[in-house]
Amino acid sequence: MYNSDLPKRAALPSSRQLFRSTILAVLSAIVILITIVLPSEHGIDPTGAGRALGLTEMGEIKIQLEKEADADRKQQLQKPGPTKAEEQSGLLKSILSVFLPRTASAQTAASDWKDEISISLKPGQGTEVKLIMKKGAEAEFSWSVDQGVANYDLHGDGAGKSISYKKGRGVPGDKGSLKAAFDGNHGWFWRNRTRKNITVKLQVKGDYTRIKRNL
């Protein structure tokens, strides 16, 4: 059997080199933890680098949504189930919606939207959609959850600034207008806190240059 040549002793790293490499690896891990992990996951930004990179806001949103999820779970435990009369009323509405024709306004309401996006979210999954807007620009929007609800945060960020316009939990949808407080990215973060898959449908139009989605 052929055995490969063992490396010479001089080619092996010394104890001092191994120690220095270990120290560098530990320091790199600490830097990554402080500048990236803590801001993006926990909203903690002792150096300010996370805010400059837009990571601190992400962490703050996650913390807020986790608090909202806890509140949702407590609310669901305390919330009584639907009565028999409510169940019958809901069933009747579902049956009637199949046979009643849609109104002309409902058929044409979405005809003038500039962009329309449908996003599927699994339980616990979140996503973000942003409009690139100039300060003072306005956009109209309408979004809804197909047979479900979602937690959301309508916010903006850019040039070291951030703002939260509106937020909610367990919401089936929302519509209105958005006016950019500064140049940057302005839009929505949704989180599915239910136990089933949901689809968020977003429709927008107005004064923005581009729409982008962040997973």
What CATH number does the domain containing 189 carry?
A: 2.60.120.680
**Do 48 and 130 belong together in one domain?**
no
Q: What is the pLDDT of residues 128-155, one digit of tens each?
A: 999 999 999 999 999 999 989 999 999 9
Q: What is the pLDDT of residues 7-46, one digit of tens each?
A: 555 566 778 878 888 888 888 888 887 877 776 677 777 7
Report yes or no on 104 lying in a domain. Answer: no
Q: What is the pLDDT of residues 143-194, one digit of tens each?
A: 999 989 999 999 999 988 999 999 999 999 999 999 999 999 999 999 999 9
pTM of the model: 0.54
Domain end residue (candidates: 5, 35, 53): 53
Structural domain range at position 26: 13-53
* Secondary structure of the chain in HEC code, one letter for each residue: CCCCCCCCHHHCCCHHHHHHHHHHHHHHHHHHHHHHHHHHHHCCCCCCHHHHHCHHHHHHHHHHHHHHHHHHHHHHHHCCCCCHHHHHHHHHHHHHHHHCCCCHHHHHCCCCCCEEEEEEECCCCEEEEEEEECCCCEEEEEEEECCCCEEEEEEEEECCEEEEEEEEEEECEEEEEEECCCCEEEEEEEECCCCCCEEEEEEEEECCCEEEEEC
Give CA separation, 65 vs 48, 74, 169, in Å.
22, 14, 8
Report yes or no on 193 lying in a domain. Answer: yes
Burial class (CB in 10 A: 0-12, 13-18, 19+), 42: middle
